[in-house]
Every structure is written in structure tokens, then in C-alpha cells.
């Protein structure tokens, strides 16, 4: 019998697959539907202090091999999610609250109230790439460290960080040192690859409206970047900080690659938006088949074991 359950920061997940913050998880109805689905957890939309409509539409576009989006953090505001969290726990799977902020001061305000609502885990999103004029906190180690310090003392449930993609070993090492100083319980990587541009040559136009068409790339096109970040941080921390791998998971084999590189679980975004909640059952079946064919009975048996040449 192949076991797809996993444990992150002492919390057991019935399946290693879950939604990425942002994919079908904004409203109460969407979050309940995740609870009723084959997802191993319910991840909330990254929440801000005030409710947000987000950027003007069209703001998401799927294309062969991936997607581009510039959503602008549409969400109900943290107070609404704080009220929803206790009810979402009835589904018997972990609830991960994703906390964002438009400025540094927002993070502790949200963190204190959300922690009181007692989700199973809190993900502090240092990588909100699609707010015009707002840089990503995760690309500034000093700002990142200030934010982590300010929320760490307020959060009593397991606390993790959602990180942007890094493209240089020096950046992995700098952020690794920041993370290592503050008792972070898990990591989630990567967020979408920022500031891509997709053009429709027939219309001779960009495909999304915000930011002149610039947006975050997701889907299979970003898988090598996601795998590189998972592997880099897995090696930096010698497997001691569990990692949720996000980026490019379209089928069971993609998930297997994430696990080989060091991911204890995986999140899906583009494929969930494109295919719907049935994608969880398909992915669970496909990964089960991959592990069975290779003789693995659990994720733990192949976690982080990718061979280097």
C-alpha cells in the first residue's frame, strides 16, 4: 500500500497535494469546496488588512505550458478569514492561513488575529509580486528579517515562509542565514516567477491588463526554477526544515521530482485553475502509481534522494 500522507512541523497531512494560496481559495465557498475535495489541506488566499478587489481584468491567462497572472491580492481581508478558520477545521485536514501585507506594519496586525483563530499552520508570504509599485519583501534580506522577527513572537502555531524564486546561490545563502536565525518551521517555494510578459501575436497585444501586461509566470514552464530552489534550501538546511514545493506540478511525475529534490508536500496553482478540483484525485492516483512502480511505499523513502552526477 502506497502512503501519500506527509508530516510538516508536526502536523499530519492526509495527502501531500494541496492548493497554492491564490488558486480557488478566496471565498468561503471556494475554501469549503477545497475541504470537500481530495486536497490534503485547505490553504487560504494570502490575506491583507483590508478586503481587496485586486487588479483590473483580464488578470489571468493560461497558455500552453503555463500561465501568467497579475491578480493584485483579491481577498476578503484578514478578519473574514479569522472567522472562517474554525469552521474550515471540520474537514479533518490541516488549514494553512497565508498572511500577506502591503507594508511591514500589516504583518504583525494580521498575524496576531489569525494566530488567535488557530489555523494548523501559518504561511507568511514574503513574495507578493503583483501589487503595482510594491517590491517583493523576499528579495530584500533586511526587510525580510524585520518582518520575520516581528511576527515570530506573535505566532504560536507552526510558522512558515512563502518565498519568491531566487536565481543565484548567493541569494539562497543570504536568505538561508536569515531563516536559520528565527526558528522558521517550514518553507514554501516558489511563488510565481515575477515580471514575465506573454504576447498574443494575432492580436498584437499583451494578454493581461495590469502593469502593462507584466505578471507572474506559473505552470510547467517554471518547474526547473522551483526544483532548483527546493533543492538548494533542502541542502542548506540538510533536510531539517520541511519544504512545500510549489511550481510546475501538472502531473504525478512532476510531484515526484519535487519530492526527490526535497519537498515534503507540493502545492498546485495553474493546473488547479485550469482543471478544477478533480485535479487532486488525478494527481493522487498518478503519484501513487509512480511510487508503486518504483517500489516506494511512502514519500519519506525517496524524500531528498535525487542523485547528483
**Contact 244/268 with Cβ under 8 angstroms?**
no
State the CB neighbour count (10 A cutoff) for residue 297: 12
Element (H, E) at 229: helix 223-236
Q: Select which of 16, 25, 103, 128 is catalytic.
A: 128
In whole angstroms, give the CA distance from residue 55 to residue 254.
31
Nearest to 273 by CA among 16, 68, 41, 57: 68
Q: Burial-class residue 122 by CB neighbours within 10 Å (0-12, 13-18, 19+).
A: buried
In whole angstroms, give the CA distance from residue 15 to residue 35.
12
61 φ, ψ to 5°? -150, 125
**Cell numbers found for residue 141:** 534580506
Identify whether 16 is a catalytic site residue: no
SS (H, E, C) 242-279: CEEEECCCCCHHHHHHHHHHCCCEEEECHHHHHHCCHH
Dihedral angle sign, alpha carbons of residues 250, 253, 286, 3: negative
Residues known to be catalytic: 128
Amino acid at each position: 500500500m502506497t502512503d501519500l500522507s506527509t508530516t510538516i512541523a508536526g502536523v499530519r497531512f492526509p495527502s501531500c497535494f494541496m492548493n497554492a494560496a491564490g488558486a480557488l481559495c478566496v471565498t468561503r465557498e471556494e475554501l469549503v469546496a477545497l475541504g470537500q475535495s481530495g486536497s490534503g489541506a485547505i490553504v487560504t488566499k494570502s490575506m491583507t488588512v483590508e478586503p481587496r478587489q485586486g487588479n483590473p481584468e483580464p488578470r489571468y491567462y493560461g497558455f500552453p505550458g503555463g500561465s501568467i497572472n497579475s491578480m493584485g491580492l483579491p481577498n476578503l481581508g484578514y478578519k473574514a478569514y479569522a472567522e472562517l478558520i474554525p469552521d474550515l477545521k471540520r474537514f479533518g485536514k490541516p488549514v494553512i492561513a497565508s498572511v500577506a501585507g502591503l507594508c511591514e506594519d500589516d504583518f504583525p496586525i494580521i498575524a496576531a488575529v489569525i494566530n488567535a483563530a488557530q489555523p494548523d499552520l501559518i504561511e507568511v508570504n514574503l513574495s507578493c509580486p503583483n501589487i503595482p509599485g510594491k517590491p517583493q519583501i523576499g528579495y530584500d534580506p533586511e526587510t525580510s528579517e524585520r518582518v520575520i522577527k516581528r511576527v515570530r513572537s506573535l505566532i504560536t502555531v507552526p510558522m512558515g515562509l512563502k518565498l519568491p524564486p531566487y536565481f543565484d546561490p548567493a541569494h539562497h545563502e543570504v536568505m538561508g542565514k536569515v531563516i536559520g536565525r528565527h526558528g522558521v518551521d517550514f518553507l514554501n517555494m516558489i511563488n510565481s516567477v515575477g515580471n514575465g510578459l506573454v504576447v498574443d501575436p494575432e492580436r498584437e497585444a499583451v494578454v493581461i491588463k495590469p502593469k502593462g501586461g507584466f505578471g507572474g509566470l506559473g505552470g510547467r514552464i517554471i518547474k526547473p526554477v522551483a526544483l532548483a530552489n527546493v533543492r538548494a534550501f533542502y541542502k542548506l538546511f540538510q533536510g531539517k526544515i520541511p519544504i512545500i514545493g510549489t511550481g510546475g506540478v501538472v502531473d504525478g511525475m512532476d510531484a515526484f521530482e519535487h519530492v526527490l529534490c526535497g519537498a515534503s508536500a507540493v502545492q498546485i496553482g495553474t493546473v488547479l485553475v485550469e482543471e478544477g478540483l478533480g485535479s487532486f484525485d488525478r494527481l493522487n492516483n498518478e503519484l501513487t502509481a509512480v511510487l508503486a512502480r518504483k517500489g516506494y511505499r511512502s514519500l519519506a523513502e525517496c524524500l531528498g534522494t535525487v542523485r547528483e552526477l
